[in-house]
Chain A
Amino acid sequence: MTDLPIDIPAWAALVTAALVLFGSTLALIGCVGLLKFSTFYERLHAPTLGSTLGLWSILIGSMIFFSTSQERPVVYELLIGVFVTVTTPVTMLLLSQTTLYRDRLEGRDPLSENPDPIDKTG
């Protein structure tokens, strides 16, 4: 990709590196979780690691990097953060709801104590 002449103070480079590494590690853990967990409902939790703390640490890292390298405050990342924070839970919610309904349709309601499905044919 592009070869930016990287010319930022050492402290900024260190902080950026740490934040980005931390964020991507969280995302990686989330992915491993996605693979490891056995049911859909459990799996839902794993990627949220990456989309919350992981996301923000990468974004802050990015902000520091570009603000110091371009010598002006760069805050686009805030918008990205807001958008992802607002939309990810909605996606999760929709996914879990859909799964819930499907499970009910197939006669195994994870919420009820004694599964008593209503008429399957609808």
Chain B
Amino acid sequence: MAVEQLSLILLILSPFVGSVVAAFLPATARNSEAIFAGAIALINLGIAIWLGPSVRDGGVVRMEAPWIPLLGLDFVLRLDGLAWAFVCLISGIGLLVTIYARYYMSPQDPVPRFFSFLLGFMGAMLGVVVSGNLIQIVFFWELTSLFSFLLIGYWHHSQSARTGARRALLTTGAGGLCLFAGMLVLGQIVGSYDLDVVLFSGEVIAASPLYPAALILILLGALTKSAQFPFHFWLPGAMSAPTPVSAYLHSATMVKAGVFLLARLWPAMADHDLWFYILAPIGAITLLMGAALALFQQDLKGLLAYSTISHLGLITLLLALNSKTAAVAAVFHIMNHAVFKASLFMAAGIIDHEAGTRDIRRLGGLAKAMPITAALAMVAAAAMAGVPLMNGFLSKEMFFAETVETHVQGSFLDSLLPYVATLAGLFSVAYSLRLIDQVFFGPKATDLPKKPHDPVIWMLLPVGCLVLICLLVGLFPGPVIGEFLETAVRGMLLGEKPYYSLAIWHGVNTALIMSVVAMIGGIIAYVALRDWLSGDFEGARMPGRLALRKRVERAQTALGRAWARSEVWLGLSHLQPQLRWIVCVAILTIAWPFLFRSWAIQPGAAEQPDTALLFVWLIGGACAIGAAYQAKYHRLAALIMTGGAGLAVCITFAWLSAPDLALTQVLVEVVTTVLLLLGLRWLPKRKEDIREAADLNAKRRRAADAVIACLGGVGLAALSYAVMTAPTNPDGIARWLLTYAYSEGGGRNVVNVILVDFRGFDTLGEITVLGIVALSVYALLRRFRPAVESVQAPTQKTFQDKYDAQRHESHADDRQIDAHYLLTPGLIMRLLFPLIAMMAMFLFLRGHDLPGGGFVAGLTFAVAFLLQYMAGGARWVEERLTILPTLWIGGGLLMALGTGAAAWIWDLPFLSTYFSYKELPVVGKIPVASALIFDFGVFTLVTGATVLILVALAHQAVRWQRMTGKGEKIALEEDR
């Protein structure tokens, strides 16, 4: 692979890797975080600059790796001029934003989270622009939605941040789903998801009957992302984000992803009337509405937000015109807007930071207090207004010139455009003017929360850099930006370059006249409205009926209510109905194919079982029925009988020559019984009189439950019977496993070889689930508070303690009483610890050839801990043993995964095992299999998971003691 391809991979990977690393830096490391994030942005910028020559004349750098070859999907990174320009913007402005953020974030903010999300977002954005595959674009697209959600909601203690983040995620995420559908349709039309193929299939796409569907779906994605009318509402809400985030999201990234996508697909999709008729009105409305609303904002960032919406509308409109020169103007404006808007957001952040407020009405006369900031903001605002000699002027002139030209013959909309453009220009002059005048000039504000002054140089530096670019581009467009723009344009237009001129002065033409009109009109409008604008009203929004925001919110609320109602209606608010549903669905799912799909298993003739075994079964069955009968009012009895049924199963396994299963079954029975016993203690006592006082409803419910239970039980028994007696295929899997267990897996214990080798992947999945279950049990019990009536010690224990205290006055202390009645058993249990541990090791080591293995060994080892807890209580054990079950779980999983992955080193598939015999002194020949390490992972995880559940249950008792202790203290104080 060439260096260029490798650098592309680095470009994508470095932000994501950096994101993970940044998350683990210490919370106070603002400097190292910023330097680290900045370095990654710098590396990406370096890569972009280095790759520049390769994409200059319409060149493309491509990197391919098979992804899902079966579906014709490859992972493609594709850098052309347009993507390259975006990479420059994303990493360049990203670099400045990290510097700025270092000084903007306060020491109290958890910066690792911030920089981690920022880097993740940068990576997602880079992914969108350099993806060479439609599906891949959607993937990264959704990632940007997720990361922007996390960034906007960074200050999650604030309600507005949460609302804003949620709204942004819902809007852009829903758009993303539409985009996914659209991309699938597009891929179907073209017959390939590869971007290169799609871009050159413009004619096929335009001719396809599916074009409208693809277009509308894709536009839904792009327009929601770019905050176009009527989906613009999420953007002002996103202003609750920290300002560096706003500066990044709303200048170079996030919202630009939408217009990027339009530009990206422009050669493939723009050549159709629908493109113009959908996009142009939306662009025009957004342009005008955004500009108008921006003027009426009182929040500095709100003003900038609406201005962003307006400028994005302008870009959308330019792209809608389906003319190559308009496309040039669009790309140019994307760059210009990114530069001046980023600097303005940063300036707004500085003002907020130094003056303590962003309310335009409260600010004023700041030019004296913070002259440098004022000067920089003024230049940037001038660029935004389109004042000559600034970069904004150039692209705005291009835009005006484009609107004047006729693109669609006889269209009312097309002839209306120059007026719309001029009016929007007028507004943008007015709001830029207002921004400068009311913040920096006029009477000096007196009631500011802080005394404003210029910030440290490092905070000004990023703004200064951007403003310098505004000026340089505005003054010397040809030499400064010419080549950059040309590269981007050639990339977008597939190598073509239409004629355009970057000169500042084109002579007196219509565009210039429009500019002058807008300029003068804007000044007049502002002067006329000035006093009224400072009046007492909050920032304007879209008027009532047009505001989609309200409707979306109302729909959300309605959905939430309907959901809550359905919960009540389906009876899902209680555990019992939930379980009933689960069981019913399970029964139906299994019965369905037999009842309606003509599935059938032909049961064969069963062998006549031994009389002795039959007797065991009778006892087991009686135990099971008894357990079900007693389950409601005598849980302890039910539990013991369940154990009896389990033992019957266990004897059956041993009888039928399945020692592995028997061993496992015994241990599982023991461990679950003890854990359940520990849990039972916290359940409130059932009142037996409920049984008698049941009304008709309850009786009906119980009868229904009995029917369900019988159906489930009988069904399962019938199914098992049918499966077990069905004639087996003599050449089936069983024979294969028996034949190859030793030659392929190196073990004589076929069950164990299946577990750790043949079906190792299943085992990996299972132990993962086990770990998750243990963690969830722990998480659930951590917040568990027992019912009031079960907080008190059980009657038996109270009585026992009382009696012991009476007889042994010296043993008044709680723990000594414990030691008293468990003196001998406790001692034995403690002494058994090393023996049981040894037993576990024995079972583990012989597992590959004889009954045993990691799972059984893990359970055995857990039993050792279980006994310690029973003998000494949680406190006693934890004073002496440091048990870190979560580490055991994680370590075991990693070990199993690592063993699996190690096979890759020898170019073998995941989880291939290696085995041979090694000669050891004294011990002799011992089998060495990599499966043993995998099995050790299983062992560790099983131990950890069981012990974690045990600890979670045992700690209830500790907490309860602490709780009642506190309660007694309070009672004592009250007595006094």
Contacts and interface: CB of A to CB of B under 8 A. Distances in A.
B821 A97 contact: yes
Given A118-B806, A122-B795, A101 B828 contact: no
Interface in A67-119: 83, 86-87, 89-90, 93-94, 97, 101-102, 104-105, 118-119
A86 B828 contact: yes
Contacts of B821: 97
Contact of B796 (A89, A105, A118): A105
B803 A101 contact: yes
B798 A94 contact: no
Nearest to B838: A79
Contacts of A104: 799, 803
A93 B832 contact: no
A101 B796 contact: yes
Contact of B825 (A94, A105, A119, A122): A94
Interface residues on A, range: 10 to 19
B800 interface: yes
Q: Which of A86, A89, A94, A122 has the largest count of B CB atoms less than 10 A from its CB? A: A122
Nearest to A82: B835
Interface residues of B, number: 17
Contacts of A93: 824-825
A101 B799 CA distance: 8
B846 interface: no
A89 B828 CA distance: 10
Interface string B668-686: 0000000000000000000
Nearest to B832: A86
Given A86-B832, A118-B806, A122-B795, A101 B800 contact: yes
A119 B835 CA distance: 43
Interface string B853-885: 000000000000000000000000000000000
B828 A122 contact: no
Contacts of B969: none
Contacts of A119: 802
A118 B828 contact: no
B824 A122 contact: no
Contacts of B657: 1
Contacts of A105: 795-796, 799
Nearest to A83: B835
Contacts of B795: 105, 122
B821 to A, nearest CB: 6
Given A94-B825, A97-B821, A122 B799 contact: yes
A51 B760 CA distance: 42
Interface in B791-828: 795-796, 798-800, 802-803, 806, 821, 824-825, 828
Interface in A44-85: 83
B802 A90 contact: no
Nearest to A97: B821
Contacts, number: 33
Contacts of A94: 825
A83 B796 CA distance: 30
Contact of B824 (A1, A90, A102, A118): A90
A118 B803 CA distance: 8
A118 B825 contact: no
A64 to B, nearest CB: 23
Nearest to B822: A94
A87 B825 CA distance: 9
B825 A90 contact: yes
Contacts of B799: 101, 104-105, 122
Contacts of A86: 828, 831-832
Contacts of B800: 101
A122 B802 contact: yes
Nearest to B795: A122
A94 B803 CA distance: 17
Nearest to B842: A79
Contacts of A101: 796, 799-800, 803
A102 B803 CA distance: 12
A87 B806 CA distance: 30
A99 to B, nearest CB: 12
Nearest to A94: B825
A86 B657 CA distance: 29
A7 B317 CA distance: 98
B798 A90 contact: no
A59 to B, nearest CB: 18
Nearest to A109: B803
Contacts of B832: 86
A1 B835 CA distance: 31
A59 B806 CA distance: 45
A90 B824 CA distance: 7
A105 B800 CA distance: 9
Nearest to A2: B657
A88 B657 CA distance: 27
Contacts of A118: 802-803, 806
Contacts of A1: 657
Contacts of B796: 101-102, 105
Nearest to A86: B828
A106 B795 CA distance: 12
A87 B867 CA distance: 12
Contacts of A90: 824-825, 828-829
Contacts of A97: 821
A15 B803 CA distance: 52
A83 B835 CA distance: 9
A87 B802 contact: no
Contacts of B824: 89-90, 93
Interface in B744-801: 795-796, 798-800
Nearest to B821: A97
Contacts of B829: 90
A38 B693 CA distance: 38
Nearest to B798: A122
Interface string A1-36: 100000000000000000000000000000000000
Q: Which of A87, A101, A119 has the largest count of B CB atoms less than 10 A from its CB? A: A101
A94 B829 CA distance: 12
A90 B799 CA distance: 22
A87 B798 contact: no
B871 to A, nearest CB: 10
Q: Which of B795, B800, B828 has the largest count of A CB atoms less than 10 A from its CB? A: B800
Contacts of B798: 122
A79 to B, nearest CB: 9
A105 B797 CA distance: 11
Contacts of A122: 795, 798-799, 802
A119 B802 CA distance: 9
B445 to A, nearest CB: 74
Contacts of B825: 90, 93-94
A24 to B, nearest CB: 15
A105 B802 CA distance: 11
Contacts of B806: 118
B828 A87 contact: yes
Nearest to A91: B825
A118 B828 CA distance: 31
Contacts of A83: 835
A118 B209 CA distance: 92
A122 B795 CA distance: 7
B21 to A, nearest CB: 52
Q: Which of A86, A90, A104, A119 has the largest count of B CB atoms less than 10 A from its CB? A: A90
A70 B825 CA distance: 38
> Which 10 residue pairs of A and B lie closest in terms of their CB atoms, listed nearest first?
A122-B798, A122-B799, A90-B825, A90-B828, A122-B795, A105-B799, A101-B800, A94-B825, A93-B824, A86-B828
24 contacts: A1-B657, A83-B835, A86-B828, A87-B828, A89-B824, A90-B824, A90-B825, A90-B828, A90-B829, A93-B824, A93-B825, A94-B825, A97-B821, A101-B796, A101-B799, A101-B803, A102-B796, A105-B795, A105-B796, A118-B802, A119-B802, A122-B795, A122-B798, A122-B799
Given A101-B799, A104-B803, 12 more contacts: A1-B657, A83-B835, A86-B832, A89-B824, A94-B825, A101-B796, A101-B800, A101-B803, A105-B796, A105-B799, A119-B802, A122-B795
